Amino acid sequence: MVSQLLKYIILTKSFSCSLEQKSHIIEVLMSNSRFLFIVVPLLFLAVLVMPTPGACQESANCLACHSAMKGKIKNAGGAMVELNVDADKFGASKHGALSCTDCHMRFADNPHSTPSGDVPQAVLALSSKIASKFKVDPVAGAACSTCHEEVYKMVLGSVHGKNIVDKHQMDGALCLDCHGSPHYITSVKDESSPMSRKHQVETCGKCHGDKKIIEKYKLEENVMESYEESFHGRKLFLGHTKAPTCSSCHSSHDIRSKTDPASPVFGKNKLVTCGKCHKGANEKFVPAITHKRPGPIPHYGEKLLIILTIGVFAFIVIHVLLEAFADIRDAIFRKKEEEE
Amino acid sequence: MSETTTTTQEVPAEIERFDIIFRIQHVLMFTTFLLLSFTGWGLKFAHEPQGLSSVWIRVWGGAETAGLIHRIAGIGMLLDFIWHVIYLAYLFATKQMTINLKTTVIPLPKDVVDVVKNFMYFLGLSKEKARFGRFSYAQKFDYWAVFWGMFIIGFSGYALAFPMQVSYIIPQFASEWIWQLLWLMHSDEALLAIVFILFWHFYNEHLKPEVFPMSWIWITGKISTEKLKHHHPIEYEFLFPEAAKKNKKH
């Protein structure tokens, strides 16, 4: 056990020498028993003080290389794989305690050998369904379901999930599109999370504000602007702690098209949805918030108000300026006339 | 207003222009107006300039507190307005106030003529300034702008602050567009009101050389007869016809 620990320390902590040199050092240390009894306890103390990447040893083995590696490579499927994993960020994330192979259950190609143990059938079946989405590692993408089974089912039944599973499109949002890199997932309460109150709207906007996607799926085209313009959007932006974000009305994992009767914003469901915050929401109240562009009455009404504002503004500014100039003129040129 | 003046010979040094109730109403009006402007500005320009509005709203205690201040000030202003209207009704009912074309604040065709006359004077086309009664067109404009604001901004603001209560009384056919219209009305006209106060009211009652730093009538309620004669000659002649006649002879 002690020698294992020693190996681990040398492998992970001293990056200045090559792997061969490291193994040579290990051999030398193993052959000298004094080191085992003096140096090893000291090193053990050092380990307690030093920050360790990840919580488990197996992650540390992977991170020994991957935290130092930079850049991307192309895998057999032609997808670009990001090699770097930030060990500190991973350790601090929700999944910092997991070992890499909990999700990376199988490696499609070298240089890694697949860890022993079979990939569960459920995960394997799921991975083939979502393969169009996960070019890098579909098994890892499906592995979320081993812990988050219920939520994953919801997502697959949602308008986002169906787009991937049934229509085999790349665009539908799956776990990572919303929650960010799997290695750095944090709680939605954490401000840095792409699903936090601070970032959720811009995260949804990556697709729902994208003209190509809006055209492709015939989505409501004004959702981002209308939200930002609305009281809800303004208040959220100003730091109101109860202002609703996208998911407050549209739900999250179980998200539906607005034409789906199960959607919280479909027809009369709005009464319940708005009623979560606005007790007693009725049919004349719920149209107050909409993503549709203003109809002709508000549109031309605003035009009229703008004309009125500009008209009044022009009058008062011209009047004030002319009066001020006349006052100055009188003070300089006409004072004498008055005295006479 | 004062029918007895026609018989008095004595010309007092100053006369009361606004009684204490009008003065209190004015103070309430401008304090609530400032609170509403400051908090509302942050919401209207929530997204621009980048992040500055969030800082500004934090000055007012954050979005929730600023919203509360805005609502309380709004209700205060509406109550102040209602009080003003009721007080006017009371003055009329008790004959303490009557409508006279020389002293009324109601806009008259003469006011349009006065505007044209003044513009001619400003441009050097005429040597005569317009002569005013109790209220000049600038003052009438100031006064009625508040009425306009109360109807457009006040009632839309009430609807936006209490949408649930108001939703019961709005007609079904209007529910699809009325909310957006109310919001546009409230926000656009509020901007107009702020611009109006900043340029018109501030220039006329604060920055003008003859009143700088401000016209003190808002505190004292009184105007000297000298100033009255100069700025409101028609009212002066109406109040003190004999003195005015004497002046003309001299």
Question: Where do the domains of chain B lie?
Answer: 18-98
- Taking only the tens place, the pLDDT of each residue in A98-132 is 988 899 888 766 677 777 678 889 998 999 888 88
Q: CA of B59: which chain A residue's CA is closest? A: A238
Name A319's Cβ contacts closer than 8 Å, sequence gap at least 6: B119, B200
CA distance to partner chain A, nearest, from residue B94 (Å): 36
Q: What is the pLDDT of residue A52?
A: 47
Nearest to B176 among A278, A295, A317 (CB): A295
- Taking only the tens place, the pLDDT of each residue in A221-231 is 999 999 999 99
The H or E element containing residue A125 is helix A121-129
Q: What is the pLDDT of residue B3?
A: 46
CA distance to partner chain A, nearest, from residue B95 (Å): 35
Comparison of pLDDT for A337 and A115, the residue scoring more? A115
Tell whether B188 lies on the interface with A, counting CB pairs under 8 A. yes
Q: What is the pLDDT of residue A332?
A: 86
CA distance to partner chain B, nearest, from residue A301 (Å): 7
What is the average per-residue pLDDT within A129-143? 87
The answer to whether the CB atoms of A326 and B122 lie below 8 A apart is: yes
Tell whether B196 lies on the interface with A, counting CB pairs under 8 A. yes
Answer yes or no: are the C-beta atoms of B205 and A320 closer than 8 Å.
no
Q: What is the pLDDT of residue B211?
A: 86
Average pLDDT, chain B: 91
Region of poorest pLDDT, from A21-35, B143-157, B225-239: A21-35
The answer to whether the CB atoms of B47 and A283 lie below 8 A apart is: no
Q: How many CB pairs under 8 A join A and B?
A: 124
Answer yes or no: are the C-beta atoms of A271 and A283 closer than 8 Å.
yes
Answer yes or no: are the C-beta atoms of A96 and A54 closer than 8 Å.
yes
Comparison of pLDDT for B52 and A51, the residue scoring more? B52
Average pLDDT, chain A: 84
A135 — phi, psi (to 5°)? -75, -30
Tell whether A302 lies on the interface with B, counting CB pairs under 8 A. yes
Q: For chain A, what percent of residues have pLDDT higher than 90?
A: 56
Q: What is the pLDDT of residue B2?
A: 46
The answer to whether the CB atoms of B54 and A238 lie below 8 A apart is: yes
What is the average per-residue pLDDT within B67-95? 97
Residue A283 with chain B: CB contacts under 8 Å: 175
- Taking only the tens place, the pLDDT of each residue in B31-79 is 999 999 999 999 999 987 778 999 999 999 999 999 999 999 999 999 9
**Long-range pairs for B25-28: beta carbons < 8 A, 24 or more residues apart:** B25/B80, B25/B83, B25/B84, B25/B87, B26/B218, B27/B218, B28/B76, B28/B77, B28/B80
Confidence grade of residue B1 (pLDDT, cut at 50, 70, 90): very low
Q: In chain A, what are the domain boundaries?
A: 2-50, 186-313
Residue A53 predicted with pLDDT over 80 = no
Q: Where are the beta strands (DSSP E) in A18-105?
A: 72-74, 80-82
Confidence grade of residue A16 (pLDDT, cut at 50, 70, 90): very low
Amino acid at A312: V
A169 backbone φψ class: left, alpha, beta (φ>0; ψ -120 to 50): beta
Answer yes or no: are the C-beta atoms of B216 and A337 closer than 8 Å.
no
Tell whether B68 lies on the interface with A, counting CB pairs under 8 A. no
CB atoms within 10 A of CB A281: 20
Q: What is the pLDDT of residue A282?
A: 93
- Taking only the tens place, the pLDDT of each residue in A54-66 is 446 678 888 998 9
- Exposure string of B146-156, with b = 16+ CB inside 10 Å and e = fewer, is bebbbebbbeb
ipTM metric: 0.88
Residue A38 predicted with pLDDT over 80 = no
Confidence grade of residue A299 (pLDDT, cut at 50, 70, 90): very high
Read off the tokens for B59. 């000055």
Q: What is the pLDDT of residue A106?
A: 83
A84 backbone φψ class: left, alpha, beta (φ>0; ψ -120 to 50): beta
Tell whether B202 lies on the interface with A, counting CB pairs under 8 A. no
Region of poorest pLDDT, from A30-44, A264-278, B13-27, B146-160: A30-44
The Cα A228–Cα A289 span in angstroms is 12
- Taking only the tens place, the pLDDT of each residue in B207-249 is 988 888 998 999 999 999 999 999 999 999 999 888 888 766 5
Residue A238 with chain B: CB contacts under 8 Å: 42-43, 46, 53-54, 57, 63, 66
The answer to whether the CB atoms of A316 and B196 lie below 8 A apart is: yes
Tell whether A291 lies on the interface with B, counting CB pairs under 8 A. no
Q: CA of B175: which chain A residue's CA is closest? A: A284
The Cα B145–Cα B139 span in angstroms is 10
pTM for the full model? 0.82
Read off the tokens for A254. 């179980």
CA distance to partner chain B, nearest, from residue A214 (Å): 24
Cβ burial of B123 (10 Å; 0-12, 13-18, 19+) is exposed
What is the average per-residue pLDDT within A297-303? 93
Residue A288 predicted with pLDDT over 70 = yes
- Taking only the tens place, the pLDDT of each residue in A229-271 is 999 999 999 999 999 999 999 999 999 999 999 999 999 999 9
